[in-house]
């Protein structure tokens, strides 16, 4: 097995990147990753769409290489995307970018886990496959699954290592538990949170082992629904689970070393869908911050020093073909609805990076065109909601 590339995104590395490879990007293109002060691009490359073929793999590798050389330094994948092929394609693209002078310290790589990857495609007998590849390896029991999702400490620990190997990186900049809320209808919120807490301990151990730098969760519904909805996830509650996980791991490490260590958790990232048709993360005030106010998920995360990444920026391609009237009227000189959608997302106060699945090199041009324009001023952005309401 090839050696994994050491290092991780650093403040100095990303700031140098913004001034060199990102020199053609407009002011405001780089967001500040809270606490660590990394300069991260406001647009990032996702790797979900596309068929599980060699041609799509090569397309992703070319996109990643070109994007990394042109001011995009955030890349996202998951263990199950395209049966694991997306992660390997991302790793190949990064390898090519590094060979052309991009430094590891300039790139922020995010991976997600929780869903079964099925590396050879969905098997004819999924139950037998799970027994042989999950249960037999001590990674979890079939009874713990909800659909194709597994919250098991051993399984998530294994996926961290699998993603490090696939990306060719010794340290992942962030690893996210993907859509844990899918278990709530099956086992309830309390049991789901107990499982999340156990996984967070694994994540804290991975941070101390240098396998990941930060962690968090990616959701589809959990951070967009009303507070009283069954699938709702409280950011403050998740931070509480992270604090307890850090304390438990810190105490164990301290006892082994014969010393007392202060616990400081590494929960620093959330990911949720956001676009013109899915604005709930910004407009729905559902999160009690513990600081005397109730805020939207995006606003609460900012107050609580958690970095926000938006997924579904183009609404699975719909927003490349259609556009809200208010957005179209405000951005008449943009070349396409796709560019308008990206500008809308990246201009949203509190959203650090908007991810876009780009598997075709030609489609990267829309991201780079938007990166070369400054985000909308906050006052101009908020007018879009007033216009939509008036309509």
Per-residue pLDDT tens digits for 159-210:
999 999 999 999 999 999 999 999 999 999 999 999 999 999 999 999 999 9
Kindly list the domain boundaries of the chain, sorted by start residue: 11-390
Structure confidence at residue 261 (pLDDT): 57
Check pLDDT > 70 for residue 67: yes
Check pLDDT > 70 for residue 1: no
Banded pLDDT at 36 (limits 50, 70, 90): confident
Percent of the chain surpassing pLDDT 70:
95
Mean pLDDT within 151-161: 98
Output the DSSP codes for 229-256. STT---HHHHHHHHHHHHHHHHHHHHHH
Banded pLDDT at 291 (limits 50, 70, 90): confident
Q: Give me the architecture of the 11-390 domain, per CATH.
A: Alpha-Beta Barrel (3.20)
Structure confidence at residue 259 (pLDDT): 54
Tell me the pLDDT tens digit for each residue of 70-114: 999 999 999 999 999 999 999 999 999 999 999 999 999 999 999
Q: Is 14 helix (H, G, I), strand (E, B) or coil?
A: helix
* pTM of the shown model: 0.95
Burial class (CB in 10 A: 0-12, 13-18, 19+), 262: exposed
Tell me the pLDDT tens digit for each residue of 241-289: 999 999 999 876 655 555 555 568 999 999 999 999 999 999 999 999 9
Banded pLDDT at 388 (limits 50, 70, 90): low
Banded pLDDT at 391 (limits 50, 70, 90): very low
Burial class (CB in 10 A: 0-12, 13-18, 19+), 44: buried
Q: Share the mean pLDDT of the chain.
A: 94
Output the DSSP codes for 169-228. BSSBSEEEEE-GGGGHHHH-HHHHHHHHHHHHHHHHHHHHTTSBS-EEEE-SSTTTS-TT
Tell me the pLDDT tens digit for each residue of 331-370: 999 999 999 999 999 999 999 999 999 998 888 999 999 9
């Amino acid at each position: 097995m090839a050696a994994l590339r050491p290092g991780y995104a650093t403040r100095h590395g990303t700031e140098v990147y913004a001034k060199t490879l990102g020199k053609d990007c407009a002011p405001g293109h780089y967001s500040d990753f809270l606490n660590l002060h990394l300069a991260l691009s406001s647009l990032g490359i996702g790797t979900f769409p596309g068929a599980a073929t060699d041609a799509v793999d090569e397309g992703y590798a070319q996109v990643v290489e070109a994007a990394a050389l042109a001011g995009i330094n955030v890349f996202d994948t998951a263990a199950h995307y395209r049966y694991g092929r997306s992660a390997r394609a991302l790793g190949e693209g990064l390898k090519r970018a590094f060979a052309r002078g991009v430094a590891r310290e300039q790139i922020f790589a995010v991976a997600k886990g929780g869903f079964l990857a099925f590396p050879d495609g969905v098997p004819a007998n999924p139950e037998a496959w799970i027994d042989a590849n999950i249960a037999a390896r001590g990674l979890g029991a079939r009874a713990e699954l909800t659909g194709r999702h597994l919250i098991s400490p051993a399984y998530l620990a294994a996926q961290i290592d699998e993603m490090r190997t696939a990306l060719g990186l010794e340290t992942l900049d962030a690893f996210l538990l993907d859509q844990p809320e899918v278990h709530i209808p099956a086992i309830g919120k309390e049991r789901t949170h107990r499982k999340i807490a156990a996984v967070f301990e694994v994540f804290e151990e991975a941070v101390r082992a240098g396998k990941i730098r930060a962690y968090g969760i990616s959701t589809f519904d959990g951070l967009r629904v009303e507070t009283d909805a069954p699938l709702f996830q409280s950011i403050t509650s998740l931070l509480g689970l992270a604090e307890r996980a850090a304390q438990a791991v810190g105490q164990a490490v301290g006892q082994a070393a014969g010393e007392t260590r202060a616990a400081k958790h590494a929960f620093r990232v959330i990911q949720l869908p956001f676009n013109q048709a899915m604005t709930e993360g910004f407009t729905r005030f559902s999160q009690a911050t513990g600081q005397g106010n109730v805020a939207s998920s995006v606003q609460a995360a900012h107050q609580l020093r958690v970095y926000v990444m938006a997924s579904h920026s183009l609404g699975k391609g719909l927003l490349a073909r259609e556009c809200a009237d208010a957005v179209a009227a405000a951005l008449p000189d943009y070349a396409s609805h796709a560019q308008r959608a990206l500008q809308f997302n990246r201009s949203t106060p509190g959203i650090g990076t908007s991810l876009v699945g780009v598997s075709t090199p030609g489609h990267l041009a829309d991201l780079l065109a938007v990166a070369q324009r400054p985000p909308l001023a906050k006052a101009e952005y908020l007018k879009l909601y007033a216009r939509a309401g008036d309509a």
